[in-house]
């Protein structure tokens, strides 16, 4: 039996964190963690049988990025940045077909403005 343990490598399970642990290790409140989860800024890795959210270690990197971005960006802008990064799209490529003032160079029409939920509103024709 002992020879089996010596010759095999044990796989260490990934550490999962409850919301209370995130609150303890970060400057965020329980409500903020909940709001960021609902908004899609962070996501849980698993759920317990009792329905509690569990986050993996990557949440700390994501929360650190949010702290940095909050200095100059709104939560909506942060959500868009994080989604683009997650999809592997560079933020700079989003404005390829647009000029600096927000008008499309090809068609000459104004670009649609984002709604609070991230969807786009119809272009302002005024």
pTM: 0.61
More confident residue, 122 or 24: 24
**3-state SS track over the chain:** CHHHHHHCCCCCCCCCEEHHHHHHHCCCCHHHHHHHHHHCCCCCCEECCCCCEEECCHHHHHHHHHHHHCCCCCHHHHHHHHHHHHCCCCHHHHHCCECCCCEECCCCCECCCECCCCCECCCCCC
pLDDT digits (tens, 9 = 90+) for 104-113: 334 433 344 4
pLDDT digits (tens, 9 = 90+) for 47-75: 999 999 999 999 999 999 999 999 999 99
Q: What confidence tier does 88 reach under pLDDT thresholds 50, 70, 90? A: confident
List the domain boundaries for the chain.
13-74
The fold for domain 13-74 equals Multidrug-efflux Transporter Regulator; Chain: A; Domain 2 (1.10.1660)
Q: Look at residue 60 in the predicted model and tell me its pLDDT.
A: 96
């Amino acid at each position: 039996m002992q020879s089996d343990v010596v010759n095999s490598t044990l796989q260490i399970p990934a550490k999962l964190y409850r919301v209370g642990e995130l609150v303890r290790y970060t400057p965020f409140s329980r409500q903020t963690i909940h709001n960021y989860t609902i908004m899609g800024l962070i996501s849980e890795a698993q759920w317990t049988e009792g329905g509690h959210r569990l986050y993996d270690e990557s949440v700390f990197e994501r929360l650190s990025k949010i702290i940095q971005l909050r200095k100059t960006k709104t939560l909506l802008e942060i959500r868009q940045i994080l989604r683009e990064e997650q999809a592997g799209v560079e933020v700079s490529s989003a404005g390829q077909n647009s000029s600096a003032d927000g008008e499309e160079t090809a068609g000459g029409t104004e670009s649609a403005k984002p709604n609070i939920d991230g969807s786009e509103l119809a272009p302002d024709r005024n």
